[in-house]
């Protein structure tokens, strides 16, 4: 606890304040501390899907994006062991889908690719799994490539909570899990999704793409060519805080 009575937690020997209702992730980002993540997005309810944000507190491993901050927590995040586990998760995400960066129009704008750079991932390590899934090109303006989906469910939450359309869902378990479209046909063409929806633009990889917009930004000028994923995450959180204050 600080001198002014504010409750605090300690992350990697740094004591930071938190407010009631904040998660460990929220408190960390507000204090300028980056905890790796792919499925967390400011303004959306957390889901804990990607598991990259798992930290240690006490004798437990918990997801920072779903675990409430509590006074006196001693949290370990930026350690060789935690980052090695995160790198292994990232490697598994690469091999279970079509993530061939040089041939993907999302390269330079892809959070999975940026995470690999952040964690020092130099190879896939695991044998290629490449679960083949259906590509849906039925919509006139939006492409859904399930072969690139990492099941973060950001589009699910964005469509449900922000766009209020409930276009997407995750169905199945394990290797049979996949992103589905909530229409009788199961096709994106029959959904109410629009190119301006958050769900159409939030995908961290190349699973949901706006048609006829690929490669418009040249290599060297794309998001993660200019800034690291850590810098972008902190900027996103800061922008959300300003939005919350203005609303």
Structural domain boundaries enclosing 208: 132-216
What tens digit of pLDDT does each residue of 52-85 get? 999 999 889 999 999 999 999 999 999 999 999 9
Query: What's the pLDDT score for residue 202?
Result: 97
Question: In this structure, how many other beta carbons lie within 10 angstroms of the beta carbon of residue 102?
Answer: 6
Same domain, 139 and 199: yes
Do 146 and 77 belong to one domain?
no
Count CB-CB contacts under 10 A for residue 238. Answer: 14
> Which of 46, 81, 116 is the C-terminal boundary of a domain?
81
Q: Do 143 and 204 belong together in one domain?
A: yes
Does 230 fall in a domain? no
110 is a domain residue: no
48, 28 in Cβ contact below 8 A?
A: no
* Domain membership flag for residue 233: no
Residues 212 and 138 in one domain: yes
CATH number at residue 40: 3.10.20.740
In a domain, 55, yes or no: yes
* Residue 153 within any structural domain of the chain: yes
Structure tokens at 148: 């690139």
User: CB-based contacts of 244: which residues, under 8 Å, 6+ apart?
Assistant: none
Tokens of 84: 């090695």
Yes or no: say if 229 and 111 are a contact pair by the CB < 8 Å rule: yes
Our CA angle for 189, 106, 213, nearest 5°, is: 55
Q: Are residues 74 and 136 in the same domain?
A: no
Position 102 scores a pLDDT of: 87
Percent of the chain with pLDDT over 90: 75
Residue 100: burial class (beta carbons within 10 Å; 0-12, 13-18, 19+): exposed
208 and 148 belong to one structural domain: yes
Residue 63 Cα distances to 67, 156, 236, angstroms: 6, 20, 20
Q: What is the CATH number of the domain that holds 140?
A: 3.30.70.20
* 99 found inside a domain: no
Residue 179: inside a domain, yes or no? Answer: yes
Q: Does residue 142 share a domain with residue 77?
A: no
Check whether residue 139 and residue 76 sit in a common domain: no
Q: How many domains does the chain have?
A: 2
Quote the longest CA-to-CA distance of the chain: 60
Q: Are residues 147 and 208 in the same domain?
A: yes
Span of 2-11, 41-50, 65-74, 111-120 with lowest mean pLDDT: 2-11
**Residue of 111 and 217 predicted with greater confidence:** 111
Question: Parallel, antiparallel, or unpaired: how do β-strands 135-136 and 178-181 relate?
Answer: unpaired
φ, ψ at 112 (rounded to 5°): -65, -45
Give the tens place of pLDDT for each residue, 4-21.
557 999 999 999 999 999
| CA neighbours closer than 13 Å in the CB half-sphere of residue 149 | 29
d(CA 63, CA 153): 16
Residue 224 lies in a domain: no
Q: What residues contact residue 137 under an 8 Å CB cut-off, 6+ apart?
A: 143, 144
Query: Can you give the pLDDT at residue 55?
Result: 97
| 141 and 212 inside one domain | yes
Nearest to 138 by CA among 190, 102, 84: 190
């Amino acid at each position: 606890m600080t001198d002014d009575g504010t409750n605090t937690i300690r992350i990697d020997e740094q004591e930071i304040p938190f407010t009631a209702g904040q998660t460990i992730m929220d408190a960390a980002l507000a204090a300028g501390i980056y905890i790796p993540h792919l499925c967390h997005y400011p303004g959306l309810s957390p889901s804990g899907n990607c598991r990259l944000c798992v930290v240690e507190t006490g004798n437990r491993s918990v997801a920072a994006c779903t675990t409430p901050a509590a006074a006196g927590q001693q949290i370990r995040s930026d350690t060789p062991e935690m980052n090695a586990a995160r790198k292994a998760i990232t490697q598994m995400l690469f091999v279970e889908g079509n993530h061939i960066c040089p041939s993907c129009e999302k390269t330079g704008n892809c959070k999975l690719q940026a995470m690999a750079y952040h964690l020092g991932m130099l190879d896939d390590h695991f044998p290629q799994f490449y679960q083949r899934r259906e590509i849906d090109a039925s919509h006139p303006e939006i492409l859904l490539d399930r072969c690139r989906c990492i099941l973060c469910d950001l589009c699910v939450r964005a469509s449900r909570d922000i766009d209020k359309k409930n276009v997407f869902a995750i169905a199945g378990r394990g290797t049979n899990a996949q992103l589905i479209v909530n229409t009788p046909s199961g096709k994106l063409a029959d959904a109410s999704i629009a190119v301006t929806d958050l769900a159409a633009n939030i995908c961290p990889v190349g699973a949901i793409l706006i048609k006829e917009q690929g490669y418009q930004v040249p290599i060297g000028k794309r998001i993660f060519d200019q800034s690291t994923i850590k810098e972008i995450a902190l900027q996103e959180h800061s922008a959300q805080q300003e939005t919350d204050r203005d609303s």
